[in-house]
Amino acid sequence: MNRIDAAFARLNGKKQKAFIPYIAAGVPGRDETVQIALSLEKLGADILELGYPFSDPMADGVVNQLAANKALELGVDDAAYLDMVRKIRAKSQMPIIVFSYLNPIYRLGLRQFAGRAKAAGADGFLLVDMPAEEADEIVAICRDLDMRFIFLAAPTTTPARLQRILEMGSGFLYYISRTGITGERDSFQADFETKLSAVKKAAGMPVVVGFGLSTAEQVRKVCSLCDGAVVGSALVRRTLADKPFNEMLGDIQAVASALIAPTKETWGN
């Protein structure tokens, strides 16, 4: 069984929800990325989204853009990225998702890079700007490799397009909590609960929510409506801090612990 599927099966059996952190590979450093990933798993993270840097991450807010630029400045390329995947996998069975944009992966060759990612220990892909209408090739490649391809759905996604995404995607559906870009927010959009409930009802796979989650209360709300929460900017922001790594890691752990706690409660839905 693919590790992503196994993670949700395990959580379902325990009546818990998934906590899925996003971190930018190579920030603040390559060894540090591995340490952060393993630390997050120890705290209770269930699936890792590991960001492959791109120079024009148009769906990301300031924090994640800064992290992508920092990774590129530090020389994170395909070899460095896959080396980090291998080092995490050597000490962990936590599912790893290659999180990026189409351009850098297409440049490397979809099948070639997917095969290398699989060999390194990755379990799936999420390419933010890959539309379902053009995803046949990468979806087929992932099926051949027993990897999962995760699609995004937004509050503006039409029922017809959502159905197509659900038919093509695998692993889980990533529902964007709001229109716009990534980044910490104080509240959800007015129609968030209604739209998420409709998406969850239509989906035949786990649904998780990301974009803007930064408090335990937000994570708890999401867990009451779907299968898990994705947190990125609240963690990534701390990887950009100008402080010794041990202090940085302590800050990340403190924030992550508070955000993970609601997912490990017992949920009836």
Q: Tell me, what's the pLDDT at 18? A: 98
Taking each helix axis from N to C end, the angle separating 216-223 and 245-260, rounded to the nearest 10 degrees, works out to 40
Strands 173-176 and 207-210: parallel
> Among residues 5, 41, 46, 49, which one is catalytic?
49
Q: Tell me, what's the pLDDT at 35? A: 98
60 noted as active-site residue: yes
> Among residues 5, 41, 60, 227, which one is catalytic?
60
Q: Where are the beta strands (DSSP E) in the chain?
A: 18-24, 48-51, 96-100, 124-127, 148-149, 152-153, 173-176, 207-210, 228-231
49 noted as active-site residue: yes
Sheet of 48-51, strands arranged across: 148-149, 124-127, 96-100, 48-51, 18-24, 228-231, 207-210, 173-176, 152-153
Q: Tell me, what's the pLDDT at 211? A: 85
Helix (H, G, I), strand (E, B) or coil at 48: strand
Per-residue pLDDT 10s for the chain (269 aa) are 899 999 999 999 999 999 999 999 999 999 999 999 999 999 999 999 999 999 988 877 889 999 999 999 999 999 999 999 999 999 999 999 999 999 999 999 999 999 999 999 999 999 999 999 999 999 999 999 999 999 999 888 899 999 999 999 999 999 997 654 454 455 565 588 888 999 999 999 999 999 888 899 999 999 999 999 999 999 999 999 999 999 999 999 999 999 999 999 999 87
Closest among 60, 66, 53 to 108, alpha carbons compared: 53
Domains of the chain, first to last: 3-263 (3.20.20.70)
User: CA–CA distance from 46 to each of 18, 95, 111, 158, 198 (Å)?
Assistant: 6, 7, 27, 30, 25
Q: Tell me, what's the pLDDT at 132? A: 94
User: What pTM, to 2 d.p., does this model score?
Assistant: 0.95
